[in-house]
Structure 1
Amino acid sequence: MEVICLQDEAFYKLIEDVVERLKEKQNITHDKWISPERAMEVLNIKSKTTLQKLRDEGQITFSQPQKKIILYDYDSILDYLKSHSKSSF
């Protein structure tokens, strides 16, 4: 049996590369669950209060795996943006 030792940085880089490769292979262009910061960026809002309002009103889907961790469903954010888009003349 062979044992391979890696430094922390090399190990985490390897994991990131594997995840990226799997995403490419399965044609996944984005993460299903995104951070509040990324959600605010996609929605083009600067206020955490506005993000919380959208969440509280049920306009975007979220998950709370731990008490202080809230993740947002990327697809529901895109659906929200699409439902509020206006057609051009």
Structure 2
Amino acid sequence: MEVICLQDEAFYLLIEEVVDRLKEKENIIQDKWVPPDRAMEILNIKSKTTLQKLRDEGSITFTQPQKKIILYDYDSIMKYLNNHTKKSF
């Protein structure tokens, strides 16, 4: 048996590469559920309070698989952004 040792950073880069290749192979463009930091990045907001407000108002869909884990529906985020698009004059 052969053992391969990797530094933490190299290990995580390898995992990301494997995930990217699997997504490419299966034609998966975007994850259905995104973590709060990714949702905030997509919405271009900096405040967790603003994200919670959108969640509480029902503006974006979320799931809570565990008590402290909240994930946001990518499609509902995009729908929210599209609904608030202003046309230029």
TM over 0.5: yes
TM-score range, shorter chain: 0.7 to 0.9
Q: What are the ranges of 5 or more consecutive residues in structure 2 without an aligned counterpart? A: none
Q: Which residue of 1 aligns with 2:83?
A: 83
**Higher mean C-alpha deviation, range 7-16 or range 63-72:** 7-16
**Aligned-residue CA RMSD in angstroms?**
2.0
Instruction: Tell me, yes or no, if structure 1 residue 41 matches structure 2 residue 41.
Output: yes
Q: What are the ranges of 5 or more consecutive residues in structure 1 without an aligned counterpart? A: none
Distance in 1 between the 2:41 and 2:11 partners?
A: 30
- The one-letter code matched in structure 2 to 1:17 is E
Q: Which residue of 2 aligns with 1:63?
A: 63
How many residues align structurally?
87
Name the SS for the 1:58 alignment partner.
coil
Q: How many angstroms does 1:7 deviate by?
A: 3.9
Q: Using a 3 Å threshold, how does the CA distance of structure 1 residues 52 and 25 change in structure 2: closer, same or farther?
A: same
Percent of aligned pairs with the same amino acid: 71
Name the SS for the 2:42 alignment partner.
helix
Runs of 4+ residues over 6 Å off in structure 1: none
Q: How many angstroms does 1:14 deviate by?
A: 5.0
Q: Using a 3 Å threshold, how does the CA distance of structure 1 residues 37 and 70 change in structure 2: closer, same or farther?
A: same
TM, length-normalised to structure 2: 0.79
Describe the superposition over 1:26-84 as per-residue Cα deviations: whole angstroms up to 9, x where unpaired: 22222221111111111111111110010011110111111001011111101100000
Distance in 1 between the 2:41 and 2:17 partners?
A: 25
- The one-letter code matched in structure 2 to 1:50 is T
